[in-house]
Amino acid sequence: MAQGKATGVGLGLPDITMAKVVGHPSVQSAEELRQNTLEVTLPAVIDNLLGANIGANVSAEPAARDIVFRGDFDAVNAHFIDQEWSDGLPIVPPTRERVERFLAHTSRSPDEVIGVMLPDRRAATVWSVAVNGVMAGCRPEYMPILVALAEAMADPEYGVEHSGNTPGADTLIMLNGPIVKELGFNFTQGVMRDGFLPNTSIGRFWRLYLRNVAGFLLHKTDKATFGNTWRVVVAENEDVLQQIGWLPICADQGLPAGTNAVTVARYTGGDLCLSVTGSTPEEMMPYLTGFVVRLTSWQVVFSTAGGGGSLRPLILLSPILAETIARAGWSKQDVQRYLFEHARIPASQFQELAHHGGLNDKTITEQARAGQVPAMYAESDDPDRLVPLVWAPEQYMIGVTGDPSRNHAYVFAHNGRLGFPVSKRIVP
Q: Residue ranges of the domains in the chain?
A: 167-192+231-425
Mean pLDDT confidence for 125-131: 98
Q: How far is the first Cα of the chain from the last one, in angstroms, to the nearest whole number? A: 43
SS3 133: helix
Q: Which residues pair with 3 in a beta bridge?
A: none
Minimal CA–CA distance to 58: which of 108, 22, 119, 8?
Answer: 8
SS3 113: strand
Lowest mean pLDDT among 20-29, 103-112, 121-130, 349-358: 20-29
Mean pLDDT confidence for 268-296: 97
pLDDT at 275: 97
Question: ω into residue 119 within 30 of 0, thus cis?
Answer: yes
pLDDT at 227: 93
Residue 10 has pLDDT above 80, yes or no: no
Residue 94 has pLDDT above 70, yes or no: yes
pLDDT at 18: 86
pLDDT at 17: 85
Mean pLDDT confidence for 17-23: 88
pLDDT at 61: 85
pLDDT at 168: 94
Mean pLDDT confidence for 170-199: 98
pLDDT at 308: 95
Separation of alpha carbons 360 and 306, rounded Å = 10
pLDDT at 357: 85
Separation of alpha carbons 169 and 230, rounded Å = 10
Confidence tier at 59 by pLDDT (50, 70, 90): low
Radius of gyration of the chain (CA): 24
Q: What is the mean pLDDT of the chain?
A: 94
* Chain segment 73-84, per-residue pLDDT in tens: 999 999 999 999
Confidence tier at 317 by pLDDT (50, 70, 90): very high
Would residue 84 be called left, alpha or beta, if left means φ above 0 and alpha means ψ between -120 and 50 degrees?
A: left
Separation of alpha carbons 344 and 299, rounded Å = 14
Mean pLDDT confidence for 132-149: 98
Mean pLDDT confidence for 121-126: 96
* Chain segment 205-234, per-residue pLDDT in tens: 999 999 999 999 999 999 999 998 889 999
Residue 5 has pLDDT above 60, yes or no: yes
Going by their DSSP bridges, the two strands 170-176 and 261-273 should be labelled as antiparallel
pLDDT at 39: 87
pLDDT at 52: 56
Confidence tier at 8 by pLDDT (50, 70, 90): confident
